[in-house]
Structure 1
Amino acid sequence: MGVICVELWLEGEDSSSLTGHADRIWIGEAADVAVVHLDDHRGQDEALSLVGMIDWILVRCSDWTMIPLENIVAAAAGSGTRVAAAISKAVDLNGAAFALQHGVDALLLPADEELWTAAKTVLGERNSQDSEEPNAAVELLLADVTSIESGGVGERVCVDLTERLALGEGMLIGSSANALVLIHGETVPSEFVPSRPFRINAGAVHAYCLMADGSTRYLSELEAGDAVAITDSSGAIRPASIGRLKIERRPFLLVRFEIDERLGQVLAQQAETVRFIDENGTLSVTSLQAGDRIMVRTTTGMRHVGRKVAGEMNER
């Protein structure tokens, strides 16, 4: 199955620039669309009775609740009937677009440019998940660890995701945006503490991390709801949303490394649960030695507010 593109419908006849972006202009009625108001269980029953009988069901709800919409999406799957949802607030976009992971087939929006921008962002995430195309990838190389020394005490950031990580997955973190280290998630069991398969102990607040859109951001700037890039040892990337950030004062180790005569470094908490990745698996930062090799992603150029621009930059 290829990408299932979600349609965007514009509410009412409008002469704004949004008209050219709409897949359909909705003026209140159409022969192929049945409008159902989900104000109580009778609205849901009406919608379910129409599944397979008409091309489109347009669902309107004065107070969005997800269960009735999910029931309609489930019933319509494979029936030939498609579901559209009228949305007036950005907070409701994700619920409609990802209901039962499949989501609705169209969103009906008013002539509100901010809402349309938000909808396009959400649908971009939805369409990327529906695609059979392989995920984006980065090239990972093996860097030689040159030294490990005390990094003092500072503020450490744990990134807790809204989903679990697989073995071999983590985040790209570093003190330079052009030399990011793959730090493994807390998915490896330990005899001292239980695993936290949703967590990456990412490092110090000053460090860069790679975001899902390819930009970089300081760990101190991250917020719940942001989408970070999750990377595995092959370099494949997928997005994941942050559910919580945990910032505490902890001791650090300063790990310096070299690759192709370029130097880099990263500060990691001094804890056995913090792991890097090499060609054979994972290495705990507390057992790391000079001469070990760790996976890194290197780039060139400058960064301005996280975006790559032409120019030279030297971060030490």
Structure 2
Amino acid sequence: MKKIFVQAVPFDKHLVTLALESGVDGVIVDPADRDKVATLARTEVLGTDAFTYVTLGGKDDEKTAAEALAAGGRVVLREGWEIIPVENLLAQGQGLGVEVASLERAVLAAGILERGVDFIVVPPSASADLKAIVAELKLSQGVLDLETATVTAVEQAGLGHRVCVDTLSMLRRGQGMLVGNSSAFTVLVHAETESNPYVAARPFRVNAGAVHAYVVMPGDRTNYLEELSAGTQVLIVDATGRTSLATVGRVKVEVRPMLLVTARTADGTLGRVFLQNAETIRVVRADGSPVSVVELKPGDEILVRTDAAGRHFGMRISEDIKEG
């Protein structure tokens, strides 16, 4: 995950407060101002003397930056940098950061050579984009390809331990987690954003499924639902495939009546998921709207993700694995 620093030079308490509330990794200040930040929150505070600042105007400047990196230093390229010199420097070692004047420049810097710079520095002039920069680089995990599958069966499955995942985030309509009996076929299980006459909405919650189920995680990994715990970062996915991160605040594992939902994609791929038999548990229709599992019936289309790769301890491997 890309590190993001705010540069509060000269010191500006309002900017520092905004930075801390936005979730940056640290604050860069004049060395004499370090203690001022330390009283506001627990965060990394760095003096400007911890970096070599370089304005790229020609090959000599690029050489200066390369020498500083080779010596094990951290280099910040002043705004105005161009992609080719940054690529050259990234090929020479770790410790390269750049100033960014906007969200667009931050996204560009984070993707250079498909690796990106090691850290981003947001100067005071870009404070208006700060929250958007943090959200995009810290929370977004790109876009996943979702497809529709047709429900072929909804069957009662007796009692089982199900996992209710309460996050630190308020999720929106259309968002949930990808859960399934197989890592190669996961169903978008909707967050509890909808209310009814009997139960209030709990938009921080995904009632995700049975303890043995796979859940798609950040970094192209999977976990069993039972493995999630407070502090774990999970992948939130919406009906368009856009992703973000949320932190687990609490996991509740309880015995509940379960349903087995089976669905098939247009190419014949079959998948299953065990979900609690309750009106508040929903999956997502092809149009992005949530539908309760108690209303789900054969012929309904729901959103799923298919993935041909096998998994070992949650990591992608090349092996012939069949799960049902």
| TM score, norm. by length of structure 1 | 0.64
Task: Compute the displacement of 1:76 (Å).
Answer: 9.3
Q: Which residue of 2 aligns with 1:242?
A: 248
Q: Which residue of 2 aligns with 1:304?
A: 312
* Equivalent residues, number: 233
- Within the candidate set 283, 296, 301, 1:293 is matched to 301
- Within the candidate set 192, 199, 212, 2:198 is matched to 192
> How far, CA to CA, are the matches of 1:305 and 1:70 in structure 2?
45
Q: Which residue of 2 aligns with 1:314?
A: 322
Cα distance change on mapping 1:106 and 1:265 into 2, 3 Å: farther
Q: Which residue of 2 aligns with 1:233?
A: 239
Q: Deviations over 1:19-52 (max 9, x none)?
A: xxxxxxxxxxxxxxxxxxxxxxxxxxxxxxxx8x
For residue 267 of structure 1, give the secondary structure of its aligned residue in structure 2: strand
- Is the contact between residue 178 and residue 187 of structure 2 (CA under 8 Å) also seen in structure 1? yes
- Within the candidate set 141, 147, 156, 2:147 is matched to 141
For residue 271 of structure 2, give the secondary structure of its aligned residue in structure 1: strand
Cα distance change on mapping 1:86 and 1:315 into 2, 3 Å: farther
- Within the candidate set 72, 83, 89, 2:29 is matched to 83
- Is the contact between residue 156 and residue 202 of structure 1 (CA under 8 Å) also seen in structure 2? yes
Task: Compute the displacement of 1:244 (Å).
Answer: 0.3
For residue 6 of structure 1, give the secondary structure of its aligned residue in structure 2: strand
> How far, CA to CA, are the matches of 1:218 and 1:196 in structure 2?
23
Task: Compute the displacement of 1:75 (Å).
Answer: 8.8
- Is the contact between residue 275 and residue 281 of structure 2 (CA under 8 Å) also seen in structure 1? yes
Cα distance change on mapping 1:75 and 1:254 into 2, 3 Å: closer
Cα distance change on mapping 1:256 and 1:164 into 2, 3 Å: same
Alignment of 1:166-181 (within 5 A): 166-181=172-187
- Is the contact between residue 163 and residue 207 of structure 2 (CA under 8 Å) also seen in structure 1? yes
Amino acid at match of 2:185: A
Q: Which residue of 2 aligns with 1:11?
A: none
- Is the contact between residue 76 and residue 83 of structure 1 (CA under 8 Å) also seen in structure 2? no
- Is the contact between residue 174 and residue 239 of structure 2 (CA under 8 Å) also seen in structure 1? yes
Q: Which residue of 1 aligns with 2:114?
A: none
Cα distance change on mapping 1:264 and 1:132 into 2, 3 Å: closer
Cα distance change on mapping 1:75 and 1:240 into 2, 3 Å: closer
- Within the candidate set 216, 220, 231, 2:222 is matched to 216
Unaligned runs of 5+ in 1: 8-50, 58-68, 88-93, 98-102, 109-122
- Is the contact between residue 161 and residue 255 of structure 2 (CA under 8 Å) also seen in structure 1? yes
Cα distance change on mapping 1:75 and 1:105 into 2, 3 Å: farther
Cα distance change on mapping 1:298 and 1:82 into 2, 3 Å: same
Unaligned runs of 5+ in 2: 21-26, 36-40, 51-118, 121-130
Cα distance change on mapping 1:186 and 1:56 into 2, 3 Å: same
> How far, CA to CA, are the matches of 1:273 and 1:133 in structure 2?
27
Task: Compute the displacement of 1:72 (Å).
Answer: 7.7
For residue 278 of structure 2, give the secondary structure of its aligned residue in structure 1: coil
For residue 183 of structure 1, give the secondary structure of its aligned residue in structure 2: strand
Q: Which residue of 2 aligns with 1:6?
A: 5
| TM score, norm. by length of structure 2 | 0.63
Cα distance change on mapping 1:222 and 1:299 into 2, 3 Å: same
The alignment status of 1:263 with 2:270, answered yes or no, reads yes
- Is the contact between residue 56 and residue 82 of structure 1 (CA under 8 Å) also seen in structure 2? no
What is the percent sequence identity of the aligned residues? 37
Task: Compute the displacement of 1:225 (Å).
Answer: 0.6
Q: Deviations over 1:157-201 (max 9, x none)?
A: 100000100111000000100101000000011111111010000
Task: Compute the displacement of 1:134 (Å).
Answer: 6.8
RMSD of aligned residue pairs (Cα, Å): 3.9
Amino acid at match of 1:252: M
Cα distance change on mapping 1:207 and 1:82 into 2, 3 Å: same
The alignment status of 1:253 with 2:256, answered yes or no, reads no
- Is the contact between residue 73 and residue 83 of structure 1 (CA under 8 Å) also seen in structure 2? no
> How far, CA to CA, are the matches of 2:247 and 2:200 in structure 1?
22
Q: Which residue of 2 aligns with 1:90?
A: none
- Is the contact between residue 151 and residue 298 of structure 2 (CA under 8 Å) also seen in structure 1? yes
The alignment status of 1:73 with 2:19, answered yes or no, reads no
> How far, CA to CA, are the matches of 1:143 and 1:72 in structure 2?
48
